[in-house]
Amino acid sequence: MNSEERILRSFDEVCPHELRETFGTPLFVYSQSILEQQYAALARALHNVSATICYAMKANSNMSVLKVLKRIGSGFDIVSSGELQRLVKIEADMSKVVFSGVGKRDEEITLALQQGVKMLNVESIPELKKIDSVAKREGIVAPVSFRLNPDMTHEVHEHDVTGTRASKFGISPEFMSEFWEIVKKSQWLKLKGVSCHVGSGGADIEVYRNVFKEQLKVAGQFKELGAEISCIDLGGGFAANYGGSYTPIDLAKLGSLIESIAAGNEYEFIVEPGKFLVSEAGILLTEVLYVKNNGIRDIVIVDSGMNDLIRPPLYNAYHEIDLVLTESEKPREGTNFVDVVGPVCEGGCFFARNRELPEIKQGDLLAIKNAGAYCFAMASQYNGRRLPAEVLVHQGNSTLIRKRDSIEDLWRNELI
Ligand code: LLP
């Protein structure tokens, strides 16, 4: 490795050292420019298709991030009323919101109907019956889709698999007629679509091709039964660029695949990307507290841990790590194979193991890359650690978009 290779000097034209000065560490930093570029690249790849991008906001639900995406035309994929309430707060267009998830509660379905979301992606027969009863009680017709479980998957970490028969997601095709009978009998259900999502981080176009074809087949069968299917929700999962040996999605190929699927029919298509839109737009800045040697190699101990970014221990995920230098600092001479670990008292609290990095010293600033998706969103206060602050940067300007938790926030709802 060339020691220049893993060095970061600015992020969306902002100096990370200045961010450390102003906001402290650990600090999540999101680039508005990268967010917008990712959205634009996907929109371009789909420009020949009648398609709506519904950002899967579970990946990063900071309202400032949501507002950037809303402003450039994005819809949203939600999985709870908590997420829906965020969209109410930013005044999102509810006609571009789809509601997924296997465990929708009565009050969540109620709120979704009252807010007029585009479609509830139904994941089981009992859920369909529940939606029917809520819709009747509220006097609002529920637009629903059949979330297909196609028994197909990408080769991704087992926790990221959602499309196999054994998984808890979606409905197997053999339940189609039972599903349709319930819809047909009810004046409160309208079957609008077929949806699907087979997992997160998929780059294999052939898997997408097979899944999309299966969806079209199921949509055709529902139409034969008499349903007016107008919408095909293709799901998300498009692999972001995590660097290393990780394969990102080929957008051009994905675009032409969706174009070929769309040719000759009138469906509106929906995609639900999370990672692809926000992963690369984020970095986590963390300071090196100590460097110790365990007799095997150097252990770099930083002030952020699995409580802030849990993806490496949870999914064995790879995140590139850069040494942050100022514009004028010279690159370090050599490189070294090190472990980068956090302070949490678990062997699983690490960011990288045996990773070649430029020479690292106490007090250095490191940037954990691809920290925009499923990082802050999955952060916790484990080990009595405060949730970090979040900053949005754009062409040289920075804005604090979430304050660091205070000490009192650690026990705010406890009663003593
Ligand atoms: N649609 C549905 C119904 C989903 O369940 C998900 C993600 C998405 C869309 C967006 O998937 P994406 O485009 O972000 O891959 N925490 C894991 C990922 C969990 C994904 C859960 N569902 C990770 O960090 O790898």
- 8 Å CB contact between 190 and 151: no
Whole-number Å distance, alpha carbon 323 to ligand 1 midpoint, is 29
**How far is Cα 93 from Cα 131, in angstroms, rounded to an integer?**
22
Of 253, 273, 293, which residue constitutes the final position of a domain?
273
**How far is Cα 259 from Cα 269, in angstroms, rounded to an integer?**
10
Query: Does residue 151 or residue 192 have the better pLDDT?
Result: 192
Residues 98 and 175 in one domain: yes
What is the average pLDDT across 134-153? 95
| pLDDT at residue 190, as a whole number | 98
Pocket of ligand 1 (CB under 6 A): 56, 59, 77, 100, 160, 197, 200-201, 235-238, 272-276, 311, 315, 374
Q: Is the pLDDT of residue 385 over 80?
A: yes
Residue 102 included in any domain: yes
- 8 Å CB contact between 332 and 3: yes
Residues 260 and 376 in one domain: no
Residues 137 and 214 in one domain: yes
- The model carries a pTM of 0.97
Mapped onto helix, strand or coil, the DSSP state of residue 291 is: strand
Atom of ligand 1 at shortest distance to CA of 373?
24
Residue 49 included in any domain: no
Of 251, 273, 295, which residue constitutes the final position of a domain?
273
Q: So which residues are the catalytic ones?
A: 345
Residue percentage of the chain with pLDDT more than 70: 100
| pLDDT at residue 179, as a whole number | 98
pLDDT per residue over 238-252, tens digit each?
999 999 889 999 999
Strand partners, 171: 148
Residues 262 and 392 in one domain: no
Residues 201 and 288 in one domain: no
Whole-number Å distance, alpha carbon 201 to ligand 1 midpoint, is 8
Whole-number Å distance, alpha carbon 10 to ligand 1 midpoint, is 29
**How far is Cα 28 from Cα 64, in angstroms, rounded to an integer?**
13
Whole-number Å distance, alpha carbon 237 to ligand 1 midpoint, is 6
Residues 103 and 203 in one domain: yes
Residues 233 and 301 in one domain: no
Mapped onto helix, strand or coil, the DSSP state of residue 199 is: strand
> Which CATH number characterizes residue 315's domain?
2.40.37.10
Q: Is the pLDDT of residue 30 over 90?
A: yes
- 8 Å CB contact between 270 and 54: yes
Residue 262 included in any domain: yes
Residues 375 and 290 in one domain: yes
The closest residue, in CA terms, to atom 20 on ligand 1 is 200
Residue 97 included in any domain: yes
| pLDDT at residue 233, as a whole number | 98
Atom of ligand 1 at shortest distance to CA of 202?
15
C-alpha distances out from residue 270 to 80, 139, 147, 195, 293, Å: 19, 27, 13, 9, 51
Residues 156 and 247 in one domain: yes
Structural domain harbouring 150: 93-273
| pLDDT at residue 58, as a whole number | 98
What is the average pLDDT across 11-29? 98
Q: Pocket of ligand 1, candidates 272, 278, 279, 308: which has the most ligand atoms within 8 Å of its Cβ, to mutate?
A: 272
| pLDDT at residue 94, as a whole number | 98
The closest residue, in CA terms, to atom 22 on ligand 1 is 200
Residue 68 included in any domain: no
Residue 384 included in any domain: yes
- 8 Å CB contact between 44 and 304: no
CA-closest candidate to residue 366, choices 31, 140, 27, 138? 27
**How far is Cα 284 from Cα 9, in angstroms, rounded to an integer?**
14
pLDDT per residue over 253-278, tens digit each?
999 999 999 998 899 999 999 999 99
> Which CATH number characterizes residue 179's domain?
3.20.20.10
Residues 260 and 342 in one domain: no
What is the average pLDDT across 321-328? 96
Among 8-12, 165-169, 173-177, which is the least confidently predicted range? Answer: 165-169
The mean pLDDT of the chain is 96
**How far is Cα 111 from Cα 89, in angstroms, rounded to an integer?**
14
Of 218, 240, 273, which residue constitutes the final position of a domain?
273
Q: Is the peptide bond before 26 cis (omega within 30 degrees of 0)?
A: yes
Atom of ligand 1 at shortest distance to CA of 273?
13
Q: What are the φ/ψ torsions at residue 213 (nearest 5 degrees)?
A: -60, -40
Q: Is the pLDDT of residue 4 over 80?
A: no
Q: Is the dihedral of CA 132, 138, 140, 145 positive or negative?
A: negative
Collect all residues with Cβ–Cβ distance below 8 Å to 347 and sequence separation of at least 6: none
Which helix (H) or strand (E) is 41 found in, with range?
helix 32-45
**How far is Cα 47 from Cα 45, in angstroms, rounded to an integer?**
6
Whole-number Å distance, alpha carbon 400 to ligand 1 midpoint, is 26
Whole-number Å distance, alpha carbon 49 to ligand 1 midpoint, is 23
Atom of ligand 1 at shortest distance to CA of 275?
14
The closest residue, in CA terms, to atom 23 on ligand 1 is 374
With the CA atoms of 308, 312, 315 and 317 taken in that order, what torsion angle do they form, in degrees rounded to the nearest 10? 120
pLDDT per residue over 61-108, tens digit each?
999 999 999 999 999 999 999 999 999 999 999 999 999 999 999 999
pLDDT per residue over 157-170, tens digit each?
888 878 788 889 99
Among 2-11, 70-79, 157-166, 283-292, which is the least confidently predicted range? Answer: 157-166
| pLDDT at residue 3, as a whole number | 65
Query: Does residue 152 or residue 293 have the better pLDDT?
Result: 293
pLDDT per residue over 387-413, tens digit each?
999 999 999 999 999 999 999 999 999
Residue 45 included in any domain: no
Query: Does residue 161 or residue 295 have the better pLDDT?
Result: 295
Residues 309 and 380 in one domain: yes
Q: What is the domain count for the chain?
A: 2
Atom of ligand 1 at shortest distance to CA of 121?
3
| DSSP summary character for residue 13 | T
Mark out the alpha helices in 263-414 (DSSP H runs): 275-278, 311-315
Q: Pocket of ligand 1, candidates 35, 58, 315: which has the most ligand atoms within 8 Å of its Cβ, to mutate?
A: 58
Residue 122 included in any domain: yes
Residues 159 and 235 in one domain: yes
